[in-house]
Chains A and B, each alone.
Chain A
Amino acid sequence: MMTLTIDGKKVEVPEGTKVIEAAQKAGITIPRFCYHPALSIAGVCRLCTVAIEGQKKGAISCNTPVAEGMVVYTNTPEIQETRKGIYELHMANHPIDCPVCDQSGECVLQNYYMQVGRYKSAFKNTAEKVQKRKVVHLGEKIVLDTERCILCDRCVRFCNEITKNYELNRFNRGNHTEIGTFENRPLTGNYQENLVDVCPVGALLSKDFRFKVRVWWVEPVDSICNQCSRGCNIQLHVRKKGGQVQNTVFHPTNEVYRIKPRLHADVNSYWICDVGRYSYKQIHTESRLSQPLKKGPRGLQAKGWADAFEDIASRMRGIAQKSGPSSVAALGSAQHTNEENYLLWRWMKKMGTSPTVYHRAVPKGGRPGFHGDVDWGEFEDNLLIQKDKNPNTRGVQAVGFHKEFTLDGAGLLPAIERGEIKALYCLGDPLRDLQNKETFLSALSAMERLELLVVQDAYPSDLASRATWVLPGVTFAEKEGTFTNFQGRVQRIRKAIEPLGEAKADWEILSEFVKRFEGGEFSSAEGIFEALAQEIPAFHGMTYEMIGSKGVMLPLTQTLSPQSGERAKGEGFNP
């Protein structure tokens, strides 16, 4: 460990730490463009220059290792002057087109201008500025404006060091230097949108997000990505219902506008994949279930919730009484939260049966933004994307569902065929990933033998269309709860928007049944989690408070030390 003094504050850091990081630890954020905690040091923006006692010249704090007894000043008048000068040079050839730039509002260049700049520019004549390429399409996801670019090199380093596809580079030299791809080839891969995050200015922009909404009209809601078992920490950027009301025609409220990664050093670092990023499209798709449906003579018909609860509860009771509790079955889901699976398990216990089967069914086929040589369901890489595309496989198993619904439904389908099981409550659609037509059809026909089939799901499906009752659940953006990722880390999702139509949060639907079977009353996901933590050994002792923003590992042997996963190395994105 080494002790140094930064702006009068003593700070102790391990040997080899760079001054910029040590300052961060002391609570001092040194302005920077090119430094990014997850990337190598480029040392080109020079903005992080500090004064070190005993050195004549200023030193860039990103590449200066700490030394015992070092005395650093980050804000002397000379340093402020230097910084202002370097800043002015960054802006000299910048087009300053903030009003039409999508980065506006979250642009580091803009923020620093307000903090350290605010000078009268000596280089305001746009005709004298260096003209470079604008609107360069780098494939289907990213668009580049080389005039806005401040050549911090972060994107180049991201490609070289994180995705290792070496796609971006600097071209030309001097003040004609531009970022680009060789021969203007399109960018490839599943991590392109992270380039937009690492870009501190509006040079690399997301084609998916740009021109949709000004960033100050959306607010972030912390959540967890549900596209695979990695459980990447994300932020949903939403316009909340009843929030700032401005231009609701072009920018409707109660809508998720984009997904951004949230730093978690042990899960996803600063990154998420493009599939996760585009997954908000699944929230606002046309085909969602928005009201309870009951099978009638002319197919499924819309009904009220009261009807649904009453009818399902009494039928369940009837079947259990007539044919015994074992004729009632329920199917847990790795797509649903710990709380929801727990409620289902608790309800079934109360009815006298013990559910053991869960499913991991995710739809086959591609995904928006997905680049791969195999189906999304089979795809994995060595960066983030896990083979298991369910956000809560570890969780549903830990709750008590330990048999996976496979081709024969883990014995469930034969039992239905034999008439041993007469009522089935499905969380989600277990047949969604069956591609083999024959198996799929035989499973469907088995399901049709049931006296009562309830499907609780956010999306319509072939199975739902054959159900006695279809209960509209919601997507992960519309409810509270926890997912347990592939590492066994329990992490919280949060409600960002109101449920669609009459749809209800899945835990709300299930708690209604639990209540009707005198299994207790729950008014919040947190309350359910408390009960879960008491009853299920793997979750013993956990609370939402402990989970916090960094999660808790399962089984609970240790809580995360405050440092691991904390934003020790920088403040969020565009640090």
Chain B
Amino acid sequence: MEKILTKHMDDLNLSQIETYRFYGGYEGLRKALSMKPDEIIEEVKKSGLRGRGGAGFPTGMKWTFLAKNTGKPIYLCCNADESEPGTFKDRLIIERNPHQLIEGIAIACCAIGAHTAYIYIRGEFFHGARVLQKALDEAYASGFLGKDILKSGFDLHVFLHRGMGAYICGEETALIQSLEGKKGFPRLKPPFPAVVGLFNCPTIVNNVETLANLPYIVLNGGAKYAQFGTPKSSGTRLFSLSGHVHRPGVYELEMGTPLMDLIEKEGGGILKGRKLKAVIPGGSSVPVLTEMEVRNIRLDFESMQNAGTMLGSGGVIVMDEATCMVHALRVLARFYKEESCGQCTPCREGTGLVLQILERIDQGEGRLEDIDLLLRLSKYMMGTTICPLADADAMPIQSFIAKFRNEFEEHIREHGCSYDDTHD
């Protein structure tokens, strides 16, 4: 299989523009500048590229939702606020292959007619921000950004904006709010960003990995890209493998690869020869899979959907048999409680109450009715808020309890945990 994003990453100088160009970098942009915007969009549609941030929305279609002839500028926001627990793939692109991202941004701007793009980068990515800024400077100096790029008459300015460390700012409308200098509160939709976005102008928000795929698609054609993966999940994808495996890390695999291949072949299997217990396949927000389910599942959107979970951001969290699921859920719940922006009542109150209950179960002070209470709360939180953060808390709760209910009951019955050794 041809690698698209990590092909030359072994070359540690790839972040320098000369090296990137040595491997044929920025040729995609040169080609895009000679194409009509509609042709680029058509190629992207043909490629079947779907958003890599989590929701998996078809990128080409997203671009066509842009409000036309508004007389207002169009903005592109690159979502580099990678904060989903278990996900660290964008960071790799930013730190090791920043020019491919910049080229992707430029191509996307050609396609949608944006002359200003913002990269909203997670605040904690100090190193990434430094690398990316240096790459941007190089791209400006070489004429790939700025006024009249490659003498095509097309102007494009790209600004790097560092976030201040809020998970919610990875949600596209919260990201826009934050870019505008406001508090990162997700906005009520409709209107969608493609109609009213950054500074009330039509805006497209795309994930880092999504954009980094564009040079390949433009250069080789959408059809070529669509040959990889499955019909509905085309291309390759970066999977962030973490948890109880021998070789955690980012792996670029074709979509549709069996999940066990990622764990066994790439990850080197479970630590200490233990048995696999569960896998969260798409970042912490998606329903968990049991060992049985993991056996036969493939890494693509449809398979995951059929199994009642999601491919999400491609963050694969592996848990071995020594893992206490109550404690694992508590850790997740703490994250969502801390990161709830506090706007919508179900999320604001729900995330806190859920954590409160999980804490007491984990500490052996749970009450018999607590499990049903958790399920009831998660139902109130599911699909009742402006953004999906409450869903992201509710889905693990529902799936953890559905699949590992006995562990929760045991905690309540025995007033404690039989997996104490893993609590560190």
Contacts and interface: CB of A to CB of B under 8 A. Distances in A.
Nearest to B382: A57
A85 B376 contact: yes
Contacts of A169: 183
B188 A174 contact: no
Nearest to B185: A170
A529 to B, nearest CB: 49
Interface stretch (B90-98, B119-127, B261-269, B342-350): B342-350
A89 B343 contact: no
Contacts of A57: 383
Interface in A85-107: 85-86, 88-90, 92-93
Contacts of A467: none
B181 to A, nearest CB: 13
A46 B384 contact: yes
B380 A89 contact: yes
Interface stretch (B40-48, B76-84, B270-278, B351-359): B351-359
Interface in B347-382: 348-353, 356, 369, 373, 376-377, 379-380
B153 interface: no
Contacts of B100: none
Interface string B98-125: 0000000000000000000000000000
A437 interface: no
A82 B338 contact: no
A173 B346 CA distance: 14
Residue from the set B166, B345, B384 with the largest chain A CB neighbour count within 10 Å: B345
A86 B352 contact: no
A1 interface: no
B342 A170 contact: yes
Given A130-B352, A177-B348, A41 B188 contact: yes
Interface in A202-250: none
A174 B356 CA distance: 13
Contacts of A90: 345, 349
B370 to A, nearest CB: 9
Nearest to A128: B356
Given A42-B188, A44-B343, A175 B384 contact: no
A329 interface: no
Contacts of A58: 383-384
B13 to A, nearest CB: 41
B346 A89 contact: yes
Contact of A89 (B190, B341, B345, B383): B345
A56 to B, nearest CB: 8
Interface residues of B, number: 31
A170 B349 CA distance: 15
B384 A82 contact: yes
B75 to A, nearest CB: 23
Interface in A38-91: 41-47, 49, 57-58, 63, 65, 82, 85-86, 88-90
A173 B353 contact: no
A174 B340 contact: yes
- Counting chain B CB atoms within 10 Å of each CB, the highest count among A43, A90, A92, A175 belongs to A175
A43 B386 contact: yes
A76 to B, nearest CB: 15
Nearest to B183: A170
B290 interface: no
Contact of B342 (A82, A88, A123, A177): A177
Contact of A150 (B345, B346, B377, B384): B345
A172 interface: yes
A173 B342 contact: yes
A114 B341 CA distance: 30
A46 B342 contact: no
B353 A174 contact: no
B188 A86 contact: no
Contacts of A364: none
Interface string B317-340: 000000000000000000001111
Given A92-B353, A174-B352, A49 B384 contact: yes
B133 interface: no
Given A44-B386, A173-B341, A93 B188 contact: no
A123 B384 CA distance: 20
A122 interface: yes
Interface string B376-411: 110110011110000000000000000000000000
Contacts of A85: 346, 376, 379-380
B342 A174 contact: yes
A49 B384 CA distance: 8
Interface of B: 166, 183, 188, 190, 337-346, 348-353, 356, 369, 373, 376-377, 379-380, 383-386
The 7 closest A-B pairs by CB, nearest first: A177-B342, A85-B380, A175-B352, A89-B349, A174-B340, A43-B188, A173-B342
Interface of A: 41-47, 49, 57-58, 63, 65, 82, 85-86, 88-90, 92-93, 122-123, 128, 130, 150-151, 153, 169-170, 172-177
26 contacts: A43-B188, A44-B343, A45-B344, A46-B344, A49-B384, A58-B384, A86-B345, A86-B384, A88-B380, A89-B346, A89-B349, A89-B353, A90-B345, A92-B353, A93-B349, A128-B356, A153-B343, A169-B183, A174-B340, A174-B348, A174-B351, A175-B348, A175-B349, A175-B351, A175-B352, A177-B342
